[in-house]
Structure 1
Amino acid sequence: MQHKNRLQGILKVQGKGGSRMSGLVGSGTLGENSYLSTKQRLSLLKSLSEVAKEYNVPLISGASAKTKEELVKIIEGLATVGVDTVMVMPPKTKIVPSEKEMYEYYALSEATAKDVDVKIMPYNNPDAAGYHALSTDLLLRLSVMPKVSALKISTIDVSIIETLMLENKDLKILAGVDTVTVHAGLAGACGGITGVGCIFPKASITMQEYVLNGEWAKANKISQALNSLSYLDAQPLLMEYLKLAMGIHQNDVVGGLRTFGKKLTQHQIDDVNARYMLAKKRLEVLDLIS
């Protein structure tokens, strides 16, 4: 019940331009998702789907597998609990797949999505250890598949986004790293999937409103205010860090430190707290604390 209340609180928040979050991501591909059993994960997502329906936003989750067959089972399972869109990571294999193998992996995921009536979002995260990068040629081929809703590009190198947009100006691309929201918008991204936005939703939504309106100076001012915390979104322990920051924000530090993942050291805890306090102080000046 507590996580539902917090999600409802986030989805209620409006930016200064009146818009709200347009989607809900639950159990993405990185972070604690790796530690949950299939039963735990599907139970969580079923609960989240009720909140997503209440606020009329799509529920998005992640899928990562070693084989095409395993991927099919994951997508089918996610569809049974109300997931609308599946972010599909490249195969988790030690050997780099060929372009042909990579295409077949995604083609089967798209065909499965069609069968179970969900959409997919190819997820390119070249900066994450253990995940193979998708070439721009492959991303362009995947983007035209009927069940592909958008491409998620998680990297600080936004030139990848610009390269894709130069080939197809109608592409829908979502940025996946909070530190580059403004730069990704300049390169052509139409939005982003945010972690910091769960802590400071009014600031995150308002920044995206400014990006979409081309008000770059205003957007950049918010980006700079968030930067101390946004930095954590690009770190290997992003889930543990941002969960703690959320706990600090909600006056629930104990809950913020509760994790199936790696336990944070006192030095890391102190660093997250200092970063949170700095961002909060800056956002209060801008009247962006919800």
Structure 2
Amino acid sequence: METNNTDWRYTVMPAVFTWLKESESGALEIDFDATQKYAADILKVQGKGGSRMGGLVGSGTLGENSYLSSEQRLSLLKALSDIAKEFNVPLISGAAAETKEEIAKIVKELATVGVDTVMVMPPKTKEVPSDEEMYAYYALSATAAKEAGVTIMPYNNPDAAGYHAISTDLLKRLAALPEVTALKISTTDVSVIETLMLENKDLKVLAGVDTVTVHAGLAGACGGITGVGCIFPKASVTMQEYVNKGEWAEANKISQAMNSISYLDAQPLLLEYLKFAFGVHHNDATGGLRTLGKKLTQAQIDDVRARYILAKERLETLGLID
């Protein structure tokens, strides 16, 4: 099995939030300036070893992708493309559709606003597609990517409600498509990553759940896409530096320090939880509550705040607060 040789720099990439503001009518709209500023602030941060984030993920789950219109999404990504170019990193965005024709169209649209790699979710169908139907869906998105001059990243998220799991056998087949630059595996079951790497040691796999960064690295993942890293980028980058060097004890210290907040990345309301924590981190609790997602209860707000404070205290002890 062959894979392309795109270098993901063995690092972590932030799935940045879409910052919102109230319009004159009181409706929420995208605050492009704030979104660009916070994305740039994250990309500026260096880990203890001197490395930085290796990419920028926009309009993903944490970017309120499912709540934005197509026009809003494209405008947002165009704005983030400017930041990605400024820091010389690839811009990545998610995409989902019911049919292979629809996903092919979306891939081409994303390419027009500066997206370099499209994270392609499985088809959004009620019935579970067969492996052949699933392969055809990804194969057509790969063809569209080739025509548009971009790449794709099959996104397997079997733990999330509403998304079909991609079988390990199918993931192996998809990895061989020339336009597939990596696989994103978002699950706490890192044995999936280990199984894939045993089959092909050159495969590039990115972990998508913050709680398993170290474990995924042990299993063979070359990096990850992070939500918590938007809040604590220095810690996230430094942890990946240790993973890359095989310094597992040091990496695990950081993982444990962030455990209280990383837990939120694997919850159904991860967008709402982590966006609120980000707001608290920037002394903008009200802004942190501006979301198109679900409104948090006071009990949830108190829990997130407590988890954030605990992680911050632990990271301060390690000298990893920006």
- Aligned to 2:74, which of 42, 64, 68? 42
Shift of the alpha carbon at 1:269?
Answer: 0.6
Higher helix fraction: Structure 1 or Structure 2? 1
Shift of the alpha carbon at 1:29?
Answer: 4.5
Contact 1:151/1:173 (CA < 8 Å) preserved in 2?
yes
Structure 2: segments with no counterpart, 5+ residues:
1-32
Aligned residue in 1 for 2:107? 75
Output the CA distance in 2 between the equivalents of 1:280 and 1:16. 17
Identity over the aligned pairs, expressed in percent? Answer: 78
Shift of the alpha carbon at 1:76?
Answer: 1.2
- Residue 130 of structure 1 pairs with residue 162 of structure 2: yes
Output the CA distance in 2 between the equivalents of 1:85 and 1:32. 18
Output the CA distance in 1 between the equivalents of 2:236 and 2:131. 36
Aligned residue in 2 for 1:114? 146
Contact 1:31/1:261 (CA < 8 Å) preserved in 2?
no
- Aligned to 1:264, which of 296, 304, 313? 296
Residues 1:40 and 1:89: Cα distance change in structure 2 (over 3 Å): same
Q: Deviations over 1:253-281 (max 9, x none)?
A: 11100011101111111111000000000
TM-score by length of 1: 0.99
- Aligned to 1:141, which of 162, 173, 176? 173
Contact 2:182/2:204 (CA < 8 Å) preserved in 1?
yes
Match of 2:312, as an amino acid? K
Contact 1:31/1:237 (CA < 8 Å) preserved in 2?
no
Contact 1:26/1:61 (CA < 8 Å) preserved in 2?
yes
Shift of the alpha carbon at 1:6?
Answer: 1.3
Aligned residue in 1 for 2:321? 289
Match of 1:205, as an amino acid? V
Aligned residue in 1 for 2:97? 65
Contact 1:31/1:240 (CA < 8 Å) preserved in 2?
no
Corresponding residue SS for 2:258: helix
Which segments of structure 1 move beyond 3 Å, counting only runs of 4 or more? none
- Residue 224 of structure 1 pairs with residue 256 of structure 2: yes
Match of 1:100, as an amino acid? E
- Aligned to 1:56, which of 88, 91, 98? 88
Shift of the alpha carbon at 1:30?
Answer: 6.3
Aligned residue in 2 for 1:97? 129
Aligned residue in 1 for 2:27? none
Shift of the alpha carbon at 1:31?
Answer: 6.3
- Aligned to 1:176, which of 204, 208, 213? 208
Shift of the alpha carbon at 1:89?
Answer: 0.5
Structure 1: segments with no counterpart, 5+ residues:
none
Contact 1:22/1:57 (CA < 8 Å) preserved in 2?
yes
Output the CA distance in 1 between the equivalents of 2:203 and 2:113. 29
* Corresponding pairs, count: 290
* Structure with higher RCO (Cα < 8 A, 6+ apart): 2
Corresponding residue SS for 1:193: strand
Contact 2:190/2:215 (CA < 8 Å) preserved in 1?
yes
CA RMSD of aligned residues (A): 0.8
Q: Deviations over 1:71-119 (max 9, x none)?
A: 1121111111000000000001110001110000000000000000111
Aligned residue in 1 for 2:22? none
Corresponding residue SS for 1:146: coil
